[in-house]
Each structure stands twice: as structure tokens, then as C-alpha cells.
Structure 1
């Protein structure tokens, strides 16, 4: 099973409409909040991650299962 715990600064990738996107984890979200242009129902038991795309510079929120760590 893949590691689905990430920390600020981790380089990750995810599937997007145009293929694979890459970015950096900015924050672990553990409570209901507004981020990435939407309301996020995150909790300590089901956290989500705010990531910044390296291509667009915009932020988005993803569940840990959608992210993959990039190995250098």
C-alpha cells in the first residue's frame, strides 16, 4: 500500500484533466474549511492536502489517495 501521509514541502503528482500535474504540499487540512475555491470536509481522521501546482501556481485540495510522492 502506498504511503498517503504527506508533509509541507513534499513534491507530489496527481491525475488532472490534462494528464498528470505536479506540485508542492502547502498544508495538511484537518477541519472543515474553505480552500482551493471550495468547502473542504477534512477531519483528523480523513485529512486532505492543499497543494500548489508548479505549472499554474494555483492551489487545489486533494485527498491523500489522489496524491503520489515524487521521488528525486
Structure 2
């Protein structure tokens, strides 16, 4: 069975696969639980989270939320009240980094 060549055009845009939205999810009609999970991405200091790095998944704790433009280790952090950033500390190395809420995943208490 031959597939239509037009069905596989690249690069794929979010508008091609769904509504996208502010959460970056390409779901056409996200379920209520999916929307709830997306909206609950506000972390508190002390929350245990994981995030992806080039070396693999890393776990740590949220140190603070950043809601204004600031500098962290020589880098500009463009946090705002509408787009919070979170400073996290790695459990393994103790190093700190800043991530958006979407990059963090809740992990169990340790």
C-alpha cells in the first residue's frame, strides 16, 4: 500500500498537528486531567523534582521561584509573573540551575 507523499512534509509545525496553546502541548482536545496537570505546574520551595539534562534525568529540589528578570551565575533569567522560572539544586552534584515549570517533573519524596 503506497502512502501519500504529502502526508509527510517536514518540518512539522504545531499548527499542523493541533491547537498547541501556551503549554506547548500539541493535543487537539486535551482531557480535563491533562489540562489540570498542565495548570498545576507551580512549584514550591522544597518540592522534589526531576529534569532532563544532556547526561540524562537529574533529580533535586526547588530552591525558589523567580518572577522577575534577574541574573543567575552570569546568565540572564527572564522570569515574569506570567512565566515563572524555578531555581533547582541537584541532589547529586549540589549545582544549581534555572528551568521553566514545563521542564520540571514531580518525583516522590526522599
Identify the TM-score tier after normalising by the shorter chain: over 0.9
Using the alignment, how far apart are the partners of 1:38 and 1:24 within structure 2?
20
Write the mapping of 1:1-72 to structure 2, written as runs, cut at 5 A.
Answer: 1=34, 2=37, 3-72=40-109
Residues in 2 aligned to 1:51 and 1:28: alpha-carbon distance in whole angstroms: 9
TM-aligned CA distance change 1:36 to 1:47, over 3 Å: farther
Show structure 2 runs of 5+ residues with no match.
1-33
Higher strand share: 1
Change (3 A) 1:36 1:10: farther
Instruction: Quote the RMSD (CA, aligned, Å).
Output: 1.1
TM-score using structure 1 length: 0.92
Unaligned runs of 5+ residues in structure 1 are: none
Q: Which structure shows the bigger proportion of residues in helix conformation?
A: 2
Aligned residues between the structures: 72
Structure with higher RCO (Cα < 8 A, 6+ apart): 1
